[in-house]
Amino acid sequence: MKTNKNKKNDAKNIALYIDAENVHHGNLEDVMASLRELGTIKVSRAFADWNHPRMRKSFGAMSEFGIRPVHQPNYRHAKNTADIAIIIDAMRTTYEADIDALAIVSSDSDFIPLLEDCSRRGFHTLLFCEEHAIHALQTTPDTLHILTKSSNNTNGSADKNRALYSLILNVVSKLQQKQREDWIPAHMVGEKLREEHNICYESYGVRNVIELLKRTKGLDCRRGSNNHMLVSLSTDCIVPSWPNEDQLRTKSNSNSIVSIS
């Protein structure tokens, strides 16, 4: 656990918001234990498209810990709308409910403005995220907790999918060179993966290219001025050699390479 800024020792009334599509439900026990040491959890909500088959285990885990699942359909195939719903609901809660601490469970940088705003208004802010979350997100809250279970590690580690991630990094690198831009639209990467390399996202346990790119080590993600997702190679990323096509084809046809349910 990393703590920064000024942390008061008095008990808190906490609002907990979970971006359930982007975190492993196996972290819930540690999250709840940490928050109960800080105070009383007054609001606990987990947002996701709960109709999706891969969310079944997470749904059961939420019920086990008394966390309210909030159904948020993905109206657009390539966009996770849960983060927007969380931000709106959390802002309403901070203005209307008797709470003085806000906890976010997500590795998505979209929550930076929410955490910054709540901190400015005097709320104690906490973030539970995976180690790969960008530095700007990790340095925003008053208290930072690094999750020990990765959203990639339920049925086989994402690190074992070297062919897929090598392909993604190479595609991004080629597009950067071609476009002469550091930040590339995620949909452009998705088109290359789908049309030229026949990558089926659901075969890797994700529903769209944005989820896949967010889980790729060596990539930074952010929203552009039009709110579209952009990706760039991390400053310390070393692009690996182009993957073996036979190995990639084998992995693409597997249904259990990356399970994040």
* Ranges in the chain annotated CATH 3.40.50.1010: 2-146
pLDDT of residue 255: 36
Q: What is the pTM (predicted TM-score) of this model?
A: 0.62
In the CATH scheme, what architecture does the domain 158-252 have?
A: 2-Layer Sandwich (3.30)
Q: pLDDT under 50 in the chain at which residues? A: 1-8, 77-78, 153-160, 250-261
Q: How is the beta sheet containing 184-185 ordered, strand by strand?
A: 184-185, 229-233, 219-223
Which is nearest to 152 in space by CA: 61, 22, 239?
22
Q: What is the DSSP string of 79-96?
A: ---HHHHHHHHHHHHHHH
145 close to 34: Cβ distance less than 8 angstroms: yes
10 CB contacts (<8 Å, ≥6 apart)? none
pLDDT of residue 256: 32
93 close to 43: Cβ distance less than 8 angstroms: yes
Instruction: Write the secondary structure of 197-241 as one string of H (helix), E (strand) and C (coil).
Output: HCCCHHHHCCCCHHHHHHCCCCEEEEECCCCCEEEEECCCCCCCC
Q: Which residues of 104-125 are buried (b: 16+ CB within 10 A; e: fewer)?
A: bbbbbbbbbebbebbbeeebbb
pLDDT of residue 261: 28
Q: Using alpha carbons only, what angle is made at residue 153 by residues 4 and 232, rounded to the nearest 5 degrees?
A: 65
147 close to 28: Cβ distance less than 8 angstroms: no
Helix axis angle, 82-96 to 112-120, nearest 10° = 10
Six-digit token string for 214: 């967010």
* Ranges in the chain annotated CATH 3.30.420: 158-252
46 close to 70: Cβ distance less than 8 angstroms: yes
Q: How is the beta sheet containing 2-3 ordered, strand by strand?
A: 2-3, 143-146, 124-129, 101-105, 12-19, 39-48, 68-71
Q: What is the pLDDT of residues 182-211, one digit of tens each?
A: 999 999 999 988 888 777 765 566 667 888
pLDDT of residue 137: 87
Q: What is the pLDDT of residues 146-183, one digit of tens each?
A: 988 766 544 444 444 677 888 899 999 999 999 999 99
Distance between CA atoms of residues 245 and 165, nearest Å: 13
Does the domain at 2-146 match CATH 3.40.309.10? Answer given as no
